[in-house]
Structure 1
Amino acid sequence: MRVLGIESSCDETGVAVYDTREGLLGQALFSQVDMHARYGGVVPELASRDHVRRVLPLVKQVLAEADTCADQLDGVAYTAGPGLAGALLVGAGVARSLAFGWGIPAVEVHHMEGHLLAPLLEARAPQFPFVALLVSGGHTLLLDAKGLGDYAILGESVDDAAGEAFDKAAKMMGLGYPGGPRIAALAEKGTPGRFRFPRPMTDRPGLDMSFSGLKTFTLNTIHDLGGKDALSEQDRADVALAFEEASVDTLIIKCRRAMEQTGYTQLVMAGGVSANRSLRAKLGEQMKKRGVELFYPAPQYCTDNGAMIAFAGALRLQAGESAELPIKVRARWPLTELAAL
């Protein structure tokens, strides 16, 4: 089965062609980061307009790269949610129009299921069941993944997502947007032990997480140093390191508890924050001590991308699923509402 995938949930337009026998045949991604950076975050209207400009040229580019004609496709997959409603409608409208014109089925894909399944694109892939840590700019979840579409929430952030906290902390330090990569790069120059930030909600049982208090602690530390404009480059590096260490430790502690609670021996980590090198190294070390295998996607599949949507869509089309009229998108869409296949 050969599937065209379209991702347009936020600020990246991703297109890919995936074949269930031959693997990933082509992909392209356009990031709007430079456009949104001047505003310090994503502007939904600008995001939607840019998707309109980019999506069809990217479809043509990827089909040519994949050496695929429309009559070789078996379906079109698209992100139907969660995300920015206007941005989702662009991808959904284009995908459904192409599928209708080509006479092939379309299938809705949940954005976070796409992330969850992205590690299965790798040669070394996990097998259900496993625990999944989905950690991105909009979501931070721990899931019991029993099978395709069969997910139970073990824990989640009760306030800010981890990636959102990274972005806000970076803004406090004057580092710009997106904040995660900038904090990670600066943290490598930090002085270990100068600051110690709290590990929120780790002193109580349970798997829920919180990052808003960590964000507030960061703001207070910056204030104590004289404010954003008074920070030296070393101050910024030391604050960045303390923030990253606290965030990483919080996620690791919750993952350890989730593995103990489920008894599973496989942990999947996906989403934009899963590209953080410190998180990968420390979590991998902790899981190895416990006999747990850690899986995560290649860096290019951590951020939003068309490959994960094409792959997830192919699995759902193979299971007989397809989208019906009218076209619907969902800005909010709990993973637990998906149909198990």
Structure 2
Amino acid sequence: MTTLLAIESSCDETSAAVVVDGRRLLSNVVASQAELHSESGGVVPEVAARQHVRALLPVVRRALNEAECSWDRIDAVAATAGPGLPGALVVGLNAARGIAYARGLPFIPTDHIEGHVCANWLGVEEPPLPALALVVSGGHTELLLMEDHGRFERIGGTRDDAAGEAFDKVARLLDLGYPGGPPISRLAATATERTLKLPRAWLRGSDDFSFSGLKTAVARLVSGEDGPVPPPAEVAWAFEESVVDVLSRKAARVAEREGVGALLVAGGVAANRRLREIVQERSPVPVFIPEPILCTDNAAMIGAAAWRHLDEAVPPESSLDIHPTVKRDPRALARAGRR
């Protein structure tokens, strides 16, 4: 049995978790900065980094307390190495390395995207492999073929805005605040007519996504450029339907073509009720989606991913870098820091 302390600080959530054998969750504490960034309508990197500094150690203490776990029971420490905001990543990575060094524990720099995918292993049932992962968040919209843990092939991704980013931008257009996903979904549920149609970027012959045109279409609608302004609830409903339609159809098509055993949905947008419902309806293979609290950024998912790379742990004093962006196999990001 291996007990991991995991830390996540890639964006605007400060999180620590205690995870046993990559599947059993003893605690998962998340301190959100959403209210802090709501006035600016999005995450301010410098503000996020400073808040991580303030919140991290109290969050770690609380995670250990909730797990009823002493330091002596921790076998290794993991933290997100990227992708994410540079300043935010540095805070979590260095704090985790310091803890590992002080306790004489191995350290596992972990990839944020793989963490989202591995949140699906924190459930009751273990997903079969190979699988297709649809990772949908504020910073990423990716289709990844997962042959095994740590073995990913990028099949497709966004060419412009990530799906979660589009939710945030449209929420600002509708004066719904930040983050945009939950209020858009709530507003969409109140729509009554449900006849408004917004464009879908299918990008024929490609497994990629594009949401910038959809955002522009919403901007024209709410500004009155295209005629009378529809009720906000109808706009929210049409926008959500457009995003969900494209994500679910493309994921289902690729899952069938690649002959995978499961479709894994992950990332913050995976908490969206409508997406969860429609993906289940359209997928030709079994669908796995973490419970909503494990879809948004959290340390439990980092612990789940890190446990599968225990043999790649490094001494905490090793030379390690953060990797704010990734354009290749997600595991290569964390591996690149081990030198």
Instruction: Give the shorter-chain TM-score range.
Output: over 0.9
User: Hey, what's the Cα distance between the residues in 1 that align with 2:151 and 2:183?
Assistant: 35
Offset of residue 195 of structure 1? 1.2
What corresponds to 2:269 in structure 1?
Answer: 273
Corresponding residue pairs, total:
332
Could you tell me which of 303, 319, 322 is aligned with 2:314?
322
Change (3 A) 1:239 1:22: closer
User: Hey, what's the Cα distance between the residues in 2 that align with 1:337 and 1:30?
Assistant: 25
2:200 is the alignment partner of 1:207: no
Offset of residue 50 of structure 1? 0.5
- Counterpart code for 2:241: E
What corresponds to 2:82 in structure 1?
Answer: 81
Per-residue deviation, residues 166-225 of structure 1 (Å, max 9, x unmatched): 1001101111111111110000011344310111125x1221110000001111111227
2:301 is the alignment partner of 1:308: yes
Residues 179-328 of structure 1 aligned to structure 2 (within 5 Å): 179-202=180-203, 204-224=204-224, 235-287=231-283, 290=284, 292-317=285-310, 319-322=311-314, 325-328=318-321
Residues 60-75 of structure 1 aligned to structure 2 (within 5 Å): 60-75=61-76
User: Hey, what's the Cα distance between the residues in 2 that align with 1:241 and 1:60?
Assistant: 41
CA contact (8 A) 2:220 2:226 kept: no
- Counterpart code for 1:321: A
Offset of residue 3 of structure 1? 0.5
Change (3 A) 1:259 1:192: farther
Per-residue deviation, residues 37-95 of structure 1 (Å, max 9, x unmatched): 01110011110011001111111111122122222211100001000100000001100
Change (3 A) 1:22 1:129: closer
Offset of residue 321 of structure 1? 3.2
User: Hey, what's the Cα distance between the residues in 1 that align with 2:319 and 2:261?
Assistant: 42
**Structure 1 unaligned spans of 5+:** none
Change (3 A) 1:33 1:22: closer
What corresponds to 1:46 in structure 2?
Answer: 47
User: Hey, what's the Cα distance between the residues in 1 that align with 2:236 and 2:49?
Assistant: 32
User: Hey, what's the Cα distance between the residues in 1 that align with 2:22 and 2:108?
Assistant: 19
User: Hey, what's the Cα distance between the residues in 2 that align with 1:249 and 1:284?
Assistant: 12
- Superposition RMSD on alpha carbons, in Å? 2.0
TM-score of the aligned structures, taking structure 1 as reference length: 0.93
Moved more, 39-48 or 326-335: 326-335
What corresponds to 1:123 in structure 2?
Answer: 124
- Counterpart code for 1:132: A
- Counterpart code for 1:206: S
Instruction: Report the 3-state secondary structure (helix = DSSP H, G, I; strand = E; otherwise coil) of the residue aligned with 1:338.
Output: helix
- Counterpart code for 2:174: M
**Structure 2 unaligned spans of 5+:** none
Instruction: Report the 3-state secondary structure (helix = DSSP H, G, I; strand = E; otherwise coil) of the residue aligned with 1:67.
Output: coil
User: Hey, what's the Cα distance between the residues in 2 that align with 1:214 and 1:336?
Assistant: 28
CA contact (8 A) 1:110 1:335 kept: no
CA contact (8 A) 1:112 1:335 kept: no
Change (3 A) 1:176 1:225: farther
Offset of residue 137 of structure 1? 0.2
Offset of residue 149 of structure 1? 1.1
TM-score of the aligned structures, taking structure 2 as reference length: 0.93
User: Hey, what's the Cα distance between the residues in 1 that align with 2:133 and 2:330?
Assistant: 17
User: Hey, what's the Cα distance between the residues in 2 that align with 1:210 and 1:21?
Assistant: 34
Moved more, 56-65 or 133-142: 56-65
